[in-house]
Amino acid sequence: MIPRQLKEIIQGKLFQKKAVIVIGPRQTGKTTLLKEILSQSSEKAVVLNCDDPVTRDMLTNASLATLKQIVGDNKIVFVDEAQRVASIGITLKLIHDNIDTQLLVSGSSSFEISNSINEPLTGRKWEFQLFPISWKELSDHEGYVNSMSQLETRLIYGMYPDVINHLGNEKETLQELTNSFLYKDLLQFEGVRKPELLDKILKAIAFQVGSEVSLNEVANLVQIDKNTVNKYIDLLEKVFIIFRLPSFRRNMRNEIGTKKKIYFYDNGIRNALIGNFNPLEFRADVGALWENFIVSERMKKNSYQRNFCASYFWRTLQQQEIDYIEDVNGKLHAFEFKWKQTKKVKIPKQFIENYPDTVFNIISRQNFHGFLTEK
């Protein structure tokens, strides 16, 4: 089992009079991680699996007396798949405020977990996001040489734990992930009854990775209105399938300020949706795969290392572009992502003139490792 970066972070937050909330995509190992933490604790614990209907009913609108009976003398309470319980935030608040125990909570849907928990547990929680395996986790486990030898495989099949742990069966594993888990939360909680529509929207987005996504174009492709496309994209983001990167705009009138790029949390899911697992030498989308991989891995790194920065891309009406920008305490860091660094990259003159203190870097196969691992 590949050790997760969040493990030590969460262990350091235990018994500080705050609940620990772990959210993230399905099948990324949230339950495994928290059960491992429980197994290494000397404190007595109870696991409440909310996929179980009996447990779910007990926790729904439970009274304090009922919750005290459920918790008993356990010093740790692990509520797994908490998004399955209606009004779970109020239930967790009752436990936190009235029972001397450490709450651990997992969930795979931000619109159910965050929306129902944030207000009741304001000031009472630590919240973390668990992603598919990160490049740093893979590298720390496999070693630099072995992880680098897997780079092209990871660009194609992604970083989900089951994918990495089942070498030779990556396609089948990814198909199972996309068929069984991709829309589970959406279909259950948002009344979405047309998974085929979600599938069409995701496929349209998958072909635009690394480019600004046109809602009008997607709407025309799937034959629905633009507002419905935007709603579905919002929902897909809230269940951790995709995420949006906004455009950077401050000084220049010709900067694009409203468009967004959309990336997948995992390359393997993206490739499964379009049914393309061809080797890199036979693909026309290597640049898009590389950009999606680097941006998603950088997001994992910043999240796990608690690097609080704002992330963007930049483009002008004249099509001048920078792949990725981070604003760290007012200091801009700009990056271009190149799979093959065959020629010198020219930074747009307009950007240099308007943001002269920006630090520029090119991220390629030769130097990406440090970009994704070093503090």
DSSP secondary structure, 249-286, as one string: -SS-TTB--S-EEEEES-HHHHHHHHT----GGG-S-H
Mean pLDDT of 76-103: 93
Domain that holds residue 45: 6-129
| Residue at 101: amino acid letter | T
- Whether 338 has a pLDDT exceeding 90, the answer reads yes
Taking CA 44 as the corner, what is the angle to CA 42 and CA 50, rounded to the nearest 5 degrees? 125
DSSP secondary structure, 314-348, as one string: EEBTT--EEEEEEEETTEEEEEEE-SS--SPPPPP
| Cβ partners under 8 Å of residue 192, min gap 6 | 183, 186, 198, 232, 235
Domain boundary, last residue among 129, 149, 178: 129
Domain boundary, last residue among 110, 129, 148: 129
pLDDT reported for residue 251: 67
Distance CA 375, CA 362 (A): 18
| Residue at 314: amino acid letter | W
- Whether 111 has a pLDDT exceeding 60, the answer reads no
Mean pLDDT of 338-360: 86
112 falls in which pLDDT band (50, 70, 90)?
Answer: low
Residues 268 and 120 in one domain: no
Exposure string over 108-136, b if 16+ CB within 10 A, otherwise e: bbbbbbbebbeebbeebbebbbbbbbbbb
Beta-sheet strand order (sheet of 45-49): 45-49, 76-80, 102-107, 19-23, 125-129
pLDDT reported for residue 79: 96
Question: What pTM does this model have?
Answer: 0.92
Residues 360 and 213 in one domain: yes
Per-residue pLDDT tens over the stretch 358-371: 999 999 999 999 99
Among the listed residues 40, 110, 30, the one whose alpha carbon sits nearest the alpha carbon of residue 76: 40
Q: Other CB atoms closer than 10 Å to residue 233's CB: what's the count?
A: 22
pLDDT reported for residue 344: 77
Residues 137 and 67 in one domain: no
Residues 122 and 84 in one domain: yes
Distance CA 80, CA 35 (A): 10
| Cβ partners under 8 Å of residue 248, min gap 6 | 255, 312, 313, 314, 325, 327
Is residue 40 within 8 A of residue 49, CB to CB? The reply is no
Per-residue pLDDT tens over the stretch 155-202: 999 999 999 999 999 999 999 988 877 777 777 655 676 778 888 899
* Lowest model confidence (mean pLDDT) among 89-98, 219-228, 327-336: 219-228
Residues 58 and 147 in one domain: no
Both tokens of residue 241? 């399938």
Per-residue pLDDT tens over the stretch 300-335: 999 999 998 999 999 888 878 999 999 999 999 999
The domain that holds 55 is classified in CATH as 3.40.50.300
Q: Please give the helix or strand (H or E) that residue 288 lies within, else none.
A: helix 286-304
Average pLDDT value over all residues in the chain? 90
Residues 98 and 217 in one domain: no
**Domain membership flag for residue 1:** no
Counting the structural domains of the chain, the total is 2
pLDDT reported for residue 183: 74
Residues 199 and 345 in one domain: yes
- Whether 222 has a pLDDT exceeding 60, the answer reads yes
Q: Other CB atoms closer than 10 Å to residue 237's CB: what's the count?
A: 16
- Whether 375 has a pLDDT exceeding 60, the answer reads yes
pLDDT reported for residue 191: 60
pLDDT reported for residue 115: 65
Per-residue pLDDT tens over the stretch 20-64: 999 998 899 999 999 999 999 999 999 999 999 999 999 999 999
Among the listed residues 7, 82, 77, 5, the one whose alpha carbon sits nearest the alpha carbon of residue 40: 7
At residue 122, φ and ψ (nearest 5 deg) are -55, 125
- Whether 121 has a pLDDT exceeding 80, the answer reads yes
Among the listed residues 153, 172, 130, the one whose alpha carbon sits nearest the alpha carbon of residue 2: 130
Residues 42 and 66 in one domain: yes
Residues 36 and 93 in one domain: yes
373 falls in which pLDDT band (50, 70, 90)?
Answer: very high
Beta-sheet strand order (sheet of 331-337): 310-315, 321-328, 331-337, 359-363
Domain boundary, last residue among 76, 99, 129: 129
CA Rg value for the chain: 22
- Whether 253 has a pLDDT exceeding 70, the answer reads no
Among the listed residues 265, 210, 261, the one whose alpha carbon sits nearest the alpha carbon of residue 242: 265
